[in-house]
Structure formats: structure tokens, C-alpha cells
Amino acid sequence: MLIKIYEDNPNPKAIQQAVDILKKGGVIIYPTDTVYGIGCDITNQKAIERVCSIRGLRPDKANLSFICYDLTDISQYTKPFDTTVFRVLKKALPGPFTFIFNASNQVPKLLSSKKKTVGIRVPDNSIVREIVKELGNPIVTASIHDEDEIIEYSTDPELIYEKYEDKVDMVIDGGYGDNIASTVVDLTNGEFEVIRDGKGDLDLYL
């Protein structure tokens, strides 16, 4: 299923359709503020395994991130962090960043892995954030990669649909995606360490 949703004013019925699919253990492809992502409800183990299978990842080794609606969700999945970190997050999010935290005990249970860290995203995209808000918990996310050697990420939702229509339950057309991924920032040592330069400029918020 390919469904058009406009970011400026996401249609609540279309958002609900996506949520219903996720609640039933479905897998969807959606726009973010960077590249298109593929994901599912974090509480559904079979769906997580499906996402990993589609992306060719091992569930116990995959660096999957959680998309949260806002900062209030984050503390459930991370070990406590100090107020300096919180202040930066508050300024930088929603935005094109993935922050890597030490994971709370909740995360390995959700992912059936021994993961000690978790990546958190709060994208500046109202479509995916509304889906997460209506779902009531985060979704696991992985980026949609392109086989093209020059273009790393797939940006055209119709081409993404052609490629994945038999593998996923819904592709959301939210317009052309970016082909620059999020900036990844490691916070596991309490310091801001950029481990992948992407769309976000962390210096603006430090």
C-alpha cells in the first residue's frame, strides 16, 4: 500500500491507518527529516525481526534506533544523564540527530539482544512523530539504503514503493526524502562525540 500524507497537515485518518498496521505487527516505510526509514512497533519482536530481515541485518547485532515523539519518552530507554546533556537535547530536538545513550534495562528486553546502548531519534517531521504519538510508544527505525553506488539513500517514495511493496505493509509518500543521514552523536561517556557527520550541526547547540 502506497499512501500520500502531507507533512504540513498530516491527515489523521491516514496516520491512524499507519498506526493500525503497526499495532498488528506490520512494517512501514516513512519519511523523516533526513532519509526515508523502515520500522515497526518496538514492542513487537516478530516485526523487529522482519525489519532486520528486509534490511539484511542480524537482530542481535543491528544498530537500530528508536524514534520518539519527544524527550519525555527518552528516559524509559536510557540510563540517567545529566542536565547539561538534557539542555542540549532540548535545543537540538526535534532535529536531524541520532543520539547514542547507555541503554536502560528496558532495551535488551525489547530487542531480544544484549545491547548496552540505544540510538534515539526525534525527527523534525510531523508525519512520523504523529504516528509515534498515536501509537503510544516509539518505533524501531533503520534507514532505507539504495543499491546505487553514487546515491547512498533512496529518496523517491514511488521508487521505494516499487522496490519494497512486496516486503512491507505500507509505504508513506511524504514527498522526496533527503539523501543525507542524521548526525550520530555518542553520549555514552557523558561527552558529545560526533561519530558520523550528517545533516545536523551539533555545534549550533553546544
Q: How confident is the prediction along the chain (206 residues), in pLDDT tens digits per residue?
A: 999 999 999 999 999 999 999 999 999 999 999 999 999 999 999 999 999 999 888 877 777 899 999 998 788 899 999 999 999 999 999 999 999 999 998 887 888 777 789 999 999 999 999 999 999 999 999 988 766 555 567 788 999 999 999 999 999 999 998 889 999 999 999 899 999 999 999 999 99
CATH number for 47: 3.90.870.10
182 falls within a domain:
yes
The torsion defined by the Cα of 187, 137, 22 and 5, in degrees rounded to 10, comes to -80
pLDDT, tens digit (0-9, with 9 covering 90-100), for 128-162: 999 999 999 999 999 887 665 555 677 889 999 99
Q: Kindly state the helix (H) or strand (E) to which residue 183 belongs, with its residue range.
A: strand 183-186
Domain count along the chain: 1
Q: Kindly state the helix (H) or strand (E) to which residue 160 belongs, with its residue range.
A: helix 157-164
Residue whose grid cell is 530481515: 53
Using an 8 Å Cβ cutoff, are 200 and 182 in contact? yes
What amino acid is encoded at 183 in this protein?
T
- Assign 122 to helix, strand or coil: coil
204 falls within a domain:
no
Q: What is the pTM of this model?
A: 0.92
206 falls within a domain:
no
Helix axes 12-23 and 126-135, enclosed angle (nearest 10): 50
Greatest distance between any 2 Cα atoms in the chain? 45
| Range(s) of the domain holding residue 118 | 2-196
Cα gap 18→127, rounded to integer Å? 10
36 falls within a domain:
yes
205 falls within a domain:
no
Residue whose grid cell is 527518552: 74
14 falls within a domain:
yes
Cβ-count burial of 139 within 10 angstroms (0-12 exposed, 13-18 middle, 19+ buried)?
buried
Which of 134, 182, 169, 189 shows the shortest CA–CA distance to 36? 182
| Sheet with 2-4, side-by-side order of all strands | 2-4, 170-173, 28-30, 37-41, 139-143, 65-67, 117-121, 97-102, 183-186, 193-196
| Number of neighbours of residue 143 by Cβ within 10 angstroms | 20
37 falls within a domain:
yes
Distances from the Cα of 32 to the Cαs of 66, 92, 99, 112, 121, in angstroms?
A: 13, 15, 15, 26, 10
159 falls within a domain:
yes
What amino acid is encoded at 124 in this protein?
D
